[in-house]
Amino acid sequence: MTLSGRRARLVVGGLIASLALNLFVAGVMISGAVVSRPPSHDRGLMRLMHDLQEPQRSAIKASFAAERDALHDHLTALRDARHGLKRVIKARPAAGAAELEAALTELALRDREMQDLASRLMVDGWRRAASSPVPAR
């Protein structure tokens, strides 16, 4: 079957558009694999912060800002534990079950520490907001 005229232009245009879309999707997927994203704890907390009322939001932000160094240290330890687990999983020859268990235990411990710190800071900020006078309207 031979295409000519307007139909041929439409088919060629459709093929070019399809190729452009495929290249765009491939670029997005590749950039997502290359560019690091913030830890999931950050994204989850930011969603929570968005839903808070103003007195609590400001107090919790201040609570987190006051503990910025501790947060950074905990996030670094969590990231290191994730990398440690990744090293065990990718090890050649394969790592033993004890090494895998140790890496998983370390990751769980660091994750729990991060969750505990974030929870403590949110509660501290909430308490601070509750104890401060509410502005009159």
Residue 131, phi then psi, degrees to nearest 5: -85, -15
31 half-sphere exposure, CB direction, 13 A CA radius: 6
Provide DSSP, 10-34. Answer: HHHHHHHHHHHHHHHHHHHHHHHHH
* pLDDT number for residue 34: 57
* pLDDT > 90: percent of the chain: 36
For residue range 78-133, list pLDDT tens digits in order.
999 999 999 998 888 888 889 999 999 999 999 999 999 989 998 999 899 888 76
CA distance 106 to 45: 23
Q: 0.75 exceeded by the pTM?
A: no
3-class secondary-structure state, position 35: coil
For residue range 89-101, list pLDDT tens digits in order.
888 888 888 999 9
Kindly indicate whether the domain formed by 38-131 is annotated with CATH number 1.20.120. Answer: yes
